[in-house]
Structure 1
Amino acid sequence: MTLPDTTPHPAGADRTFQVDLRGLVDLLSHHLYSSPRVYLRELMQNAVDALTARHALAPDAPADAFGIRLYADGEVVRVEDDGVGLTEADVHTFLATIGRSSKRASGASPDESGRDMGRIIDQRADFIGQFGIGLLSCFLVADEIQVLSRSARTPDAPAVEWRGRGDGSYSVRVLPVSARPRPGTTVTLTPRADAAEWTRPAQVLTLARHFGSLLRHPVTFHDGPGGGTATPVNPEAAPWARSYPTPGARARALASYGEEVFGFTPLDTIELDLPAVGLKGVACVLPEAVPAGRRHGHRVHLKGMLLSEQAEEILPEWAFFVRCVVDAESLRPTASREALYEDDTLAAVRDALADRLRAWIARAAASDPELLGRFLQAHHLAVKSLAVHDDEILRMLLPWLPFETTDGHCTLDEFARTHRTVLVTSSVEEFRQVASIASAAGLGVVNGGYTYDRELVHRLPEIRPETNVADLDPATLTAHLDPVDRETELAAAAYLAQARDALAVFDCDVALRTFQPASAPALLVDSREARHERTRSRLAREQEGGLWGDILGALQREAPRAQLILNQLNPLVRTAVAIDEPELARTSAEALYGQAALLSRRPLRPAESSLINRSFLDLLAHALRKDS
């Protein structure tokens, strides 16, 4: 923090910025940090960095020689470490200036022993904190911060006390060695009343475990300032860092850890290891399908300290079938230390982790068909999205992916054995219109209306060159419907003419054919593109002469008509075409159109809904009059 600069200055002279600390704390609490709870993470992070620097001074010391102790009793919160400590000069340099970090080699000043801080802390990447604002987070829960520190770099260094207050003032006192016999730092907070929910002993222990469960230095919690009961915060190393008697035991331990962290039993676990960036962890395969495009957050630790539980950016978008816990050495955090900084390193890590997931899928396909089957049953959409862009996965898994077809839900491999020519629709509603008719006619049709399906089916010949794939169009279907004989056509001519007139408002033609199943009275052949073209043509006619009409007219093509195909094999249709009452013939044609439109399961236009209601009431009225 910087004190107000009240020194007179000549005109035009440079001045020093003044800092409103209260305003800055408000900015941190509302815009940088997600919650006041981060104060404990920042204190633990500073302690871990101090221990890292202490081990640099004593490289031969055991890993557990220095530790961190947390104290809370409802009155105060204290974080004590056996780290490198601070000299009086360090206190003035690093604690009294907002934004300056002891982790930066540049800008460090020689201490009283003449050793440069930059040489002791010579690798900024060895430290979690790098922004120099973490201590300010303590003002989110307290109005005063007390720091008592003694440097480990000089054997007889005195203790130094620094007190910072929320109004921007601070004081520094040099104390005798007896004030802190051992090197290290103690930070003490007296919480405000409005921060009690974050500083109660049970909450402090919960936060410590939440943020520090994977820290490599020993951390203990004490439920009283004087000591109290000591509870280990991180009693065990990360599961991927432990030794196991067998690979099976390792897999079970990773699965158990995944269940503990995420709350579900993984379908399988994928161990992650990228030595180049010091990343280790585990990916847990979700046992159930998730909505397409829904990305889960992943738990990312940096050097053991939890960075984020919602780090979506660590994996590509298509990998929504896993949730990960990773601990990395070389990734960069943002200033809030709650997300990852998007840079080339993160992009390379994301690509490398994607390769690990692909390798797991390939291994399951090659050696564990039962696991692959369970995985595809739950996550075929994720694999389809990957296969669209990954030729290796396409060749490996396309024949085994399930699709909706006229033979039911089956794999393309099964479907292609029965149908040498595979037809694919462009929409779900088009498939629903033709599925039963195409199946009865012996046509093999795949529903291409779902995400990725049409594109993938068209790539099937790359895997099976003997298979032909083509888009289904109305002409292909109607070519497989048998025409009626000439006498039947002539006998139905009058009815067909009245039906065409009744349905002209929908740009719908009417034809008479025979097809299976005989239980289907009519088939409405119409595509979304055709409906859009007819709508554009109608708007162009209505806007004729205006600018909008000219634009629509320039886009206009010959509008394709819908086609209502009546089934001569159906008893109801045979009765309808023999009707000699014009109004009843029109009503029956409208009713057949409405029924076919409902079977297509596409959204009905208002005029179609009105037609269905009107034709039903008219037929009901006719039936009642006839009965009377």
Structure 2
Amino acid sequence: MTADQTPHTFQVDLRGLVDLLSHHLYSSPRVYLRELLQNAVDAITARRAEQPDAPALVRLYADGAGLRVEDSGIGLTEQDVHSLLATIGRSSKRAGTDGIASVRAEFLGQFGIGLLACFVVAAEIRVVSRSARTPDAPPVEWTAREDGSYTVRTLPDIARTEPGTTVHLAARPGSGEWLTEEKVLSLAREFGSLLPYEVRVGDRAVTDLPAPWDRSYPSPAARRVALAGHCRDLFGFTPLDSIDLDLPLAGIRGVAYVLPSAVSPAQRAGHRVHLKGMLLTERADGLLPDWAFFVRCVLDTDSLRPTASRESLYEDETLAGVRDALGAAIRDWLAGLAAGAPERLEAFLAVHHLGVKSLARHDGEMLRTMLPWLPFETTDGRVSLEEFARRHPVVHYTRTVEEFRQVAAIASAQGIGVVNGGYTYDTELVERLPEVRPGTPVAELDADTVTAHLDAVDPARELALSRFLSVARATLDPLGCDVSLRSFHPLTVPALHLDDRSARHERARADAEEEADGLWAGILGSLRGSAPRARLVLNDLNPQVRRIGALDDPGLAGTAVEALYGQALLMAQRPLRPADSALLNRAFAGLLDWATHDGESHKGEKKA
């Protein structure tokens, strides 16, 4: 049996194709108008490539029941209609088509299915066209219906006397709202405000050129005000500043608006990209480096490649290059602020320091430019590293917010400058400060450093309190905490709880060992090292500590030490372990019992 070698032609279900376009390729029926504008603008571009003085006008007329779009473009002959409009996927912009291929780079459309998009709102499409290349050819009419059928006929010259094309849409049932004059005007302005040719809906203008970033203004201040208004109209916020995006080699002109409030780096950006004047997308992804999440861009380009739906950007080498170039433009803007506009820079960093810190981690130039300006939480308040380093001979830092909270008040009172390195990127940046400020000592703060800055107590005084200190050490030893006595300010702080990462790791290991079974307990026990333990530093200058130290009752003294330990943990905003919570409850109950018992004893004495 011989196989059938007869060639066959695919049969296209136009209803199914329209459903595919409206529900899967395009995000909304509104794109139909963009496709109509695109075809009209491309037709004018093609005609002007051959006739530079040809008129350039697109007019739209809508009444809810239908839409008429007229252009002064290249037009079509009857042969063009059969080969282009009646062949799905064929485009007049495709390479090899006479007259138009030579200027293909100037066209907006690249995929040849734009006219079919009109079926998402239209039951019938009628095209009347007259060719500018063959002026003697009569006008031709092509009528297509959503069932896939079409007719073609020639018309008398009077049907269209000038070259160009008119597209008539008859609304589908339920789609009339898309063809009202106000809706068409709104969509036309949204998509086509930057198109290079005059576009009007009825008598109302659509195009608004030059673009706001290309207009002349009487002063830089007037320009900033005008761009701020443009940002409000476009994005709904008043920007902190605006950044010009002028990249001739990449074919890009536009502006980036700096957000007035902090946003999450993970938040999706809403960049608006126009392709040769036509709005491509309002939600461009991948346009900027990840660190530049603090700006929203609007730009026009002729170099980026759209996806098939023309609603997003195609990820390729060109987009990667543009992304790097736009990132460099924003980086240059930041460097310019640092060099000549410190007030504007401070206002920016007060909101968006996180993005700049992220950039500085990977960009040596930005690190040198911005690190001295970046704000950090310190024992001197929120200041820049440059200012902080001028005040302190050594820049100490903690790796966690928890560590900073433990020591901030005491370190400040002792004159120790400490930077909170617990926030995102901060530790890494503080450690790199010597790269920007050579010779600046930077050191991680540990418990020994803090203790060394506290005043030692007179040996005779410590000897007199030896019994009390023995009770205190015995009380806290099960918690993995040592006790020492020092004199420090402020006097209102009775005790200071100090530990570091090594001490916390050892404490976590010990807790796990207690809860583990025999095998794991043995393994964890073998990991026990010589790591330093946490330390409760009692303040000998504090009146409350002095009264506790003078107690004769060891049990009461131990309960009071537990209370001081719990208070120190709470002051440091430390998370409490179950053992810590149990200790606090026990100390509270013990002190309450003692106070109640003591009060009853006094009452009995008075009665006697």
Q: What's the TM-score, normalizing by structure 2? A: 0.90
Q: Does residue 91 of structure 2 align to residue 101 of structure 1?
A: yes
Alignment match of 1:86 (pick from 76, 89, 97): 76
Q: Does residue 54 of structure 2 align to residue 67 of structure 1?
A: no
Alignment of 1:365-404 (within 5 A): 365-404=338-377
Alignment of 1:13-52 (within 5 A): 13=6, 15-52=8-45
Of 14-23 and 323-332, deviating more is: 14-23
Q: Which residue of 1 aligns with 2:180?
A: 200
Distance 1:128 1:556 in 2: 70
Q: Does residue 162 of structure 2 align to residue 182 of structure 1?
A: yes
- Structure 2 residue runs of 5 or longer lacking an equivalent are 601-608
Distance 1:169 1:423 in 2: 79
Alignment match of 1:171 (pick from 142, 148, 151): 151
Of 514-523 and 548-557, deviating more is: 548-557
Q: Find the residue that maps to 2:290 and give its secondary structure.
A: coil
Is the 1:314–1:349 Cα contact (8 Å) retained in structure 2? yes
Alignment-mate amino acid for residue 210 of structure 2:
A
Alignment match of 1:577 (pick from 545, 549, 553): 549
Of 151-160 and 477-486, deviating more is: 477-486
Q: CA separation of 1:161/1:438 partners in 2, compared to 1, >3 Å: closer, same or farther? A: same
Q: Does residue 565 of structure 2 align to residue 588 of structure 1?
A: no
Q: CA separation of 1:54/1:558 partners in 2, compared to 1, >3 Å: closer, same or farther? A: farther
Is the 1:57–1:120 Cα contact (8 Å) retained in structure 2? no
Q: Which residue of 2 aligns with 1:615?
A: 587
Alignment-mate amino acid for residue 172 of structure 2:
R
Distance 2:468 2:6 in 1: 99
Alignment of 1:558-573 (within 5 A): 560-573=532-545
Distance 2:342 2:548 in 1: 55
Q: Does residue 233 of structure 2 align to residue 253 of structure 1?
A: no
Q: Does residue 25 of structure 2 align to residue 55 of structure 1?
A: no
Deviations 1:165-206 (A, max 9, x none): 333333333333333332222222222343344333222211
Runs ≥4 in structure 1, deviation > 6 angstroms?
548-556
Alignment-mate amino acid for residue 100 of structure 1:
R
Deviations 1:26-57 (A, max 9, x none): 33333322222111112111211111112112
Alignment match of 2:336 (pick from 325, 342, 363): 363
Is the 1:150–1:185 Cα contact (8 Å) retained in structure 2? yes
Q: Find the residue that maps to 2:161 and give its secondary structure.
A: coil
Q: Find the residue that maps to 1:280 and give its secondary structure.
A: strand
- CA drift at 1:220: 0.5
Q: For the aligned residues, what is the CA RMSD?
A: 2.8
Q: Which residue of 1 aligns with 2:283?
A: 310
Of 533-542 and 190-199, deviating more is: 533-542
Of 24-33 and 199-208, deviating more is: 24-33
Q: Which residue of 1 aligns with 2:201?
A: 221
Alignment match of 2:297 (pick from 324, 337, 340): 324
Deviations 1:270-298 (A, max 9, x none): 22211113211122233444345545322
Q: CA separation of 1:403/1:169 partners in 2, compared to 1, >3 Å: closer, same or farther? A: same
Q: Find the residue that maps to 2:491 and give its secondary structure.
A: coil
Q: Find the residue that maps to 1:309 and give its secondary structure.
A: strand
- Structure 1 residue runs of 5 or longer lacking an equivalent are 1-8, 109-115, 223-229
Q: Which residue of 1 aligns with 2:388?
A: 415
Alignment-mate amino acid for residue 79 of structure 1:
V
Distance 2:589 2:234 in 1: 60
Q: Which residue of 1 aligns with 2:603?
A: none
- CA drift at 1:538: 4.0
Q: Find the residue that maps to 1:270 and give its secondary structure.
A: strand
Q: CA separation of 1:46/1:483 partners in 2, compared to 1, >3 Å: closer, same or farther? A: same
Alignment match of 1:131 (pick from 111, 119, 124): 111
Distance 2:243 2:450 in 1: 47
Q: Find the residue that maps to 1:388 and give its secondary structure.
A: helix
Is the 1:295–1:317 Cα contact (8 Å) retained in structure 2? no
Q: CA separation of 1:625/1:374 partners in 2, compared to 1, >3 Å: closer, same or farther? A: same
Of 606-615 and 401-410, deviating more is: 606-615
- CA drift at 1:533: 5.1
Alignment match of 2:437 (pick from 450, 464, 474): 464
Q: Find the residue that maps to 2:227 and give its secondary structure.
A: helix
Q: CA separation of 1:288/1:123 partners in 2, compared to 1, >3 Å: closer, same or farther? A: same
Distance 2:424 2:59 in 1: 53
Q: Which residue of 2 aligns with 1:268?
A: 241
Distance 1:614 1:60 in 2: 94
Q: CA separation of 1:544/1:558 partners in 2, compared to 1, >3 Å: closer, same or farther? A: farther
Alignment-mate amino acid for residue 561 of structure 2:
A
Q: Find the residue that maps to 1:400 and give its secondary structure.
A: coil
- CA drift at 1:124: 2.9
Q: CA separation of 1:75/1:614 partners in 2, compared to 1, >3 Å: closer, same or farther? A: farther
Q: Which residue of 2 aligns with 1:154?
A: 134
- CA drift at 1:437: 1.0
Alignment of 1:514-525 (within 5 A): 514-525=487-498
Q: Find the residue that maps to 1:154 and give its secondary structure.
A: coil
- CA drift at 1:388: 1.9
- CA drift at 1:480: 1.9
Q: Which residue of 2 aligns with 1:113?
A: none
Alignment-mate amino acid for residue 480 of structure 2:
D
Deviations 1:53-87 (A, max 9, x none): 121121234xxx22111121111122222211223
Q: Which residue of 1 aligns with 2:604?
A: none
Q: CA separation of 1:121/1:533 partners in 2, compared to 1, >3 Å: closer, same or farther? A: farther
Alignment-mate amino acid for residue 162 of structure 1:
W
Q: Find the residue that maps to 1:77 and give its secondary structure.
A: strand
Is the 1:534–1:560 Cα contact (8 Å) retained in structure 2? no
Distance 1:161 1:610 in 2: 90
Of 587-596 and 242-251, deviating more is: 242-251
Deviations 1:362-396 (A, max 9, x none): 22222223322322333332222222222222222
- CA drift at 1:519: 1.1
Q: Find the residue that maps to 2:204 and give its secondary structure.
A: strand
Is the 1:161–1:175 Cα contact (8 Å) retained in structure 2? yes
Q: Find the residue that maps to 2:283 and give its secondary structure.
A: coil
Alignment of 1:474-489 (within 5 A): 474-489=447-462
Q: What's the TM-score, normalizing by structure 1? A: 0.87
Is the 2:506–2:533 Cα contact (8 Å) retained in structure 1? no
Q: CA separation of 1:551/1:616 partners in 2, compared to 1, >3 Å: closer, same or farther? A: closer
Identity of aligned residues (%): 62
Of 145-154 and 20-29, deviating more is: 20-29
Alignment-mate amino acid for residue 153 of structure 2:
R
